[in-house]
Amino acid sequence: MSEVKKVVLAYSGGLDTSVILKWLQDHYQAEVVTFTADLGQGEELEPARAKATAAGVKDIYIDDLREEFVRDFVFPMFRANTIYEGEYLLGTSIARPLISKRLIEIANETNADAISHGATGKGNDQVRFELGAYALKPDIKVIAPWREWDLLSREKLMAYAEKHGIPVEMKHKQGGSPYSMDANLLHISYEGRHLEDPKAEAEEDMWRWTVSPEAAPNEAEYIDIEFKQGDIVALNGKAMKAHEVLAELNRLGGKHGVGRLDLVENRYVGMKARGCYETPGGTIMLKAHRAMESITLDREVGHLKDELMPRYASLIYNGYWWSPERVALQTLIDHSQLHVNGWVRVKLYKGSVSVVSRDSNTDSLFDADIATFEEDDGAYDHRDAEGFIKLNALRMRTAAKFRSKK
């Protein structure tokens, strides 16, 4: 252990990483550098600085990464309409490669020997953090306390914190272990407590960003969403930066009860796990982006994207953002978005997002003269359909003839 003199810790100031900070100091006798990422989690981050200072940390990094997070990670993912296992919008997964990137940058800046994280040995995040770190700095040492210590429950962590005078915020009014939560501009997640029983309904007072659909306004609200090359650039005619777009969509979606998800998912390490998620802005983004593509994207390109999306989603979920295959897929996806320009109008009402209109002045492939059910003045010759159908039926007709002889 003596070779580790300095460690960069991904530090939130919560229960797990507060205990890890003290444990690293005692167990490794190492200097700890803390890194706290502002990814738009909506919480005051200065208390993390105060806690780190009180713990004797000299080098404290608190970085505002909101714009980089949405612009360089969330938006590229949404260009692919990415969802995992049909429902999950990957709010936790997509933040991990950025955190890994910054951990390595800080390790290089401070000449640290190792990095450390608070991901458990049962979860996906340990894989995501470490795959990213090794991709960016192959020889970096990674310290994962959950794979080394015996503090394998929330109760043991809290007892350790009490013994060493580490302040811990209780995130549940009824006491006991807090929810295991992760928040950023894309989502907030909840695990643990009674959610470990898939039969138990989530408590209403658990949700932080969204009202229940029953309590949402009785009047619908419309949003005009403008796209440029697959990314949202303006809401209701107002140009915005990437992180501002997502923050405003979160506000509007949360107001109307949009974006709640209760999911049992398959973790990469092999187990099923139940989590609850709030992703109001992302839910709106996905719906609007698919609507924009519906009139600007070639049919076969769109279908190819849909075929590749589950693979792309698994790469992100499993931690392979920095892999060559993800980069290659991203190149194809980004090329497909060159003509995804225009606007979409959505309606928010009682937990739902509905597309009500869409248009592109420059790139629409929708031709009303061809698609009309009225007279089209010869734009489409109905007689062409006969040969088209017969050619496509040829293999089935041939097979049916041979089978009928048996």
Same domain? For 291 and 196 the reply is: yes
329's enclosing H/E stretch is: helix 324-336
Same domain? For 127 and 28 the reply is: yes
Phi/psi-derived region of residue 128, left when phi > 0, alpha when psi is between -120 and 50, beta in every other case: alpha
Give the CA count within 13 Å in the CB-facing half-sphere of 346.
25
Same domain? For 157 and 20 the reply is: yes
Q: Are strands 31-38 and 6-10 parallel, antiparallel or unpaired?
A: parallel
pLDDT at position 178 is: 66
Q: Which two tokens stand for residue 308?
A: 């590749």
Same domain? For 246 and 301 the reply is: yes
- Per the domain annotation, does 122 fall within a domain? yes
Q: Which of 12, 79, 93, 96 is catalytic?
A: 96
- Per the domain annotation, does 76 fall within a domain? no
Q: What is d(CA 283, CA 353) in angstroms, rounded to the nearest whole number? A: 8
Q: The domain containing residue 377 runs over which residues?
A: 368-404
Q: Which of 12, 93, 116, 180 is catalytic?
A: 180
Query: Which CATH number goes with the domain that contains 128?
Result: 3.40.50.620
Give the CA count within 13 Å in the CB-facing half-sphere of 236.
7
Indicate the residue among 342, 359, 376 that finishes a domain: 359
If one counts every other C-beta atom within 10 angstroms of the C-beta of residue 132, the result is 23
Helix or strand or coil: residue 248? helix
- Per the domain annotation, does 381 fall within a domain? yes
In angstroms, the Cα distances linking 185 to 70, 90, 155 are 8, 12, 29
Same domain? For 172 and 313 the reply is: no
CB 116 within 8 A of CB 16: no
Q: What is d(CA 189, CA 237) in angstroms, rounded to the nearest whole number? A: 31
In angstroms, the Cα distances linking 283 to 266, 288, 291, 405 are 21, 9, 13, 54
Same domain? For 299 and 341 the reply is: yes
Annotation says 306 is catalytic: no
Of 244, 235, 228, 233, nearest to 334 (Cα)? 228
User: Which residue intervals of 337-383 are DSSP H helices?
Assistant: 368-371
Q: What is d(CA 304, CA 293) in angstroms, rounded to the nearest whole number? A: 13
Report how many domains make up the chain: 3
Annotation says 96 is catalytic: yes
Same domain? For 209 and 242 the reply is: yes
pLDDT digits (tens, 9 = 90+) for 53-84: 999 999 999 999 999 999 999 999 999 999 99
Q: Which of 16, 113, 182, 231 is catalytic?
A: 16
Same domain? For 303 and 265 the reply is: yes
Of 233, 246, 201, nearest to 91 (Cα)? 246
Q: pTM for this structure?
A: 0.93
Same domain? For 351 and 211 the reply is: yes
pLDDT at position 375 is: 84
Q: Are strands 180-183 and 141-143 parallel, antiparallel or unpaired?
A: unpaired
- Per the domain annotation, does 73 fall within a domain? no
Same domain? For 101 and 222 the reply is: no
Annotation says 71 is catalytic: no
CB 21 within 8 A of CB 57: yes
pLDDT at position 1 is: 45
Query: Which CATH number goes with the domain that contains 236?
Result: 3.90.1260.10
pLDDT at position 181 is: 87
Give me the residues of the chain with pLDDT under 50, please.
1, 171-174
pLDDT at position 139 is: 97
Same domain? For 144 and 195 the reply is: no
Q: Which of 113, 125, 182, 231 is catalytic?
A: 125
Residues 6+ apart with CB under 8 A from 237: 224, 226
Same domain? For 347 and 373 the reply is: no
Annotation says 224 is catalytic: no
pLDDT at position 186 is: 98
